Amino acid sequence: SDKLSVKQARQAEAIGQQATLQGWVRTRRDSKGGFSFLEINDGSCLSNIQIIVDADLPNYESDVKRLSAGCSISVRGEVKESGGRGQATEMLAKELIVHGWADPESYPLQKKRHSMEKLREWAHLRPRTNTFGAVMRVRNRIGRSIHDFFQERDFLYTHTPIITASDCEGAGEMFRVTTIDPAMPPKDDKGEIDYTQDFFDRPSYLTVSGQLEGEIYATALGKIYTFGPTFRAENSNTSRHLAEFWMVEPEMAFCELTDNMDLAEAFLKRVVADVRQDCEEDLQFFQDRIDDTVHESLANVADKPFERVTYTTAIELLENADAKFEFPVKWGVDLQAEHERYLTEQHFKSPVILYDYPATIKPFYMRVNDEDEQGRRTVRAMDVLVPRVGEIIGGSQREERLEVLEARMAEQSLDPEEYWWYIDLRRYGTVPHSGFGLGLERMVQFVTGMSNIRDVIPFPRTPGNADF
Ligand code: 4AD
Ligand code: MG
């Protein structure tokens, strides 16, 4: 076939080719001289291509003169060198077919710019906008880069379950899985729908993290990674939390916290490098239209070693900062977004890895450190913070010592019988091991400068929002 994408047709090599282009009309302009200019886009790249349609075309009056934003068309013609600014090529149409009309009276995506909030209501049409097209191309490139990075290092892509009975993070923010036949829902004594029926013997949930299952595979196969959807029923309306988000979780046997940090840093640097190389046009768009710090913050990740400081040092820095915080800091508290932003944007002006957090604010599985001089107990946790977004990666070295793990579980009132298989890994051939989780959407936010996490995933799931 002679089909070209708009991206292909915009290359100088396409000049002189007879080709078919297919896409959606963005604009139509008629000239007095008896021809029309169409801008069409097919999502293959940010730019449109200009189509010149001569009034000689048999369906010029009946079709071409009625085209408006949103109509879908196929055009056959010759790709020509263009005299216009900002475009190498254009097409001279010899034949044009309309596949679908879009009534200009009702088509929502008119030329004017719509707010991100408004576009969220049109989740079915927003991928046709420049912003969402660019977000999705970058998101796709990041996904490919993630696989490339781990595959090149011989990590095994491991599929962990979505439905699980174990609570990895222990934060109590899980979605319960029940079985309801919509036609015949089970009823309780009061005649209300009984949502507590368990298909799986005991309560099961949508996973918050594939880590615990990932540890099983890492302690057999060495290096693994998971990459899939994860779920958190946090009832918070923030610009960086979703109820359903994608997480990448590498897990390595014979790996301590410093190696884990090295991997996390190399990983972020690699993903950023790939996007900078392959998504130049989209990144320029984000820089110009969304956030003018995009280029600079990507260069920062690519070129400079990340800062690495302990949680304790970070608290001291924050206590001595001349900034006013809404949430006061003292040793033992969890850092808030404002603190993360202060550290990355004002103090270090670069990504920071914080490590060795208080044991009291971290999950049971993290490896316990010896107490410090003041008798404070920390665990080998690490968070990677980046400007604008804050925490982008959370990880740790895992507790591999059987007795210490059991003691930690008792402390957090976890039932060892429910985690017998996890404890077994410490009983039979235990090894030091580590891993981390990167939130894909936070990564897309960082790379694109998009301020709200709802706008970097095709269908955001947030409290009260699951229609389509
Ligand atoms: O810090 P978190 O909760 O760590 C874990 O789940 C570990 N089990 C990971 C591991 O060690 N294998 O989550 C990891 C990352 C966060 O740093 C953040 O980027 C993202 O997942 N994240 C969210 N992204 C969007 N919406 C939410 N509600 C998120 N919660 C966490
Ligand atoms: Mg975390």
Residue 393 beta carbon below 6 angstroms from any ligand 1 atom: yes
pLDDT of residue 191: 87
Q: Is 5:47 a contact under the CB 8 Å cutoff?
A: no
Which amino acid is located at 24 in the chain?
Answer: W
pLDDT of residue 178: 84
Q: What are 212-223's pLDDT values in tens digits?
A: 999 999 999 999
81 has which bridge partners? 89
Residue 241 beta carbon below 6 angstroms from any ligand 1 atom: yes
Give the tokens for residue 120: 């969220």
- Name the closest-CA residue to atom 2, ligand 1: 394
What's the helix, strand, coil split of the chain in %, to 5?
30, 25, 45
Give the whole-angstrom CA distance, residue 28 versus residue 104. Answer: 12
pTM (predicted TM-score)? 0.96
- ipTM for the predicted complex comes to 0.99
Calculate how far, in angstroms, residue 220's C-alpha sits from the geometric centre of ligand 1: 24
Calculate how far, in angstroms, residue 405's C-alpha sits from the geometric centre of ligand 2: 20
pLDDT of residue 443: 98
Residue 449 beta carbon below 6 angstroms from any ligand 1 atom: no
Question: CA gyration radius for the chain?
Answer: 27
Residue 249 beta carbon below 6 angstroms from any ligand 1 atom: yes
Q: What are 56-106's pLDDT values in tens digits?
A: 999 999 999 999 999 999 999 999 999 877 778 999 999 999 999 999 999
Q: Which ligand is nearest to the CA of 166?
A: 1
Q: Which ligand is nearest to the CA of 363?
A: 1
Query: Containing H/E element for 246?
Result: strand 244-253
Average pLDDT per 10 consecutive residues for the chain, totaling 468 residues? 96 96 97 93 97 96 97 98 84 98 94 89 96 98 98 98 90 85 82 78 91 98 98 90 97 98 98 98 98 96 96 97 92 95 94 98 97 94 97 98 98 94 98 98 98 97 88
**What one-character-per-residue DSSP string does 322-344 give?**
SS--SS---TTSPPPHHHHHIII
Residue 391 beta carbon below 6 angstroms from any ligand 1 atom: yes
Q: Return the CATH architecture of domain 128-173+208-455.
A: 2-Layer Sandwich (3.30)
By three-state DSSP, how is residue 227 classified? strand
Helix axes 440-448, 257-278, angle to 10 degrees: 50
Q: Return the CATH architecture of domain 6-100.
A: Beta Barrel (2.40)
Give the tokens for residue 156: 């095994």
Give the whole-angstrom CA distance, residue 279 versus residue 283. Answer: 6
Pocket test for ligand 1, best of 227, 245, 251, 367 (most atoms within 8 A of CB): 245
Domain ranges of the chain: 6-100, 128-173+208-455, 178-206
Give the whole-angstrom CA distance, residue 179 versus residue 410. Answer: 32
Q: What are 376-393's pLDDT values in tens digits?
A: 999 999 999 999 999 999
Residue 353 beta carbon below 6 angstroms from any ligand 1 atom: no
Give the tokens for residue 447: 């790379």
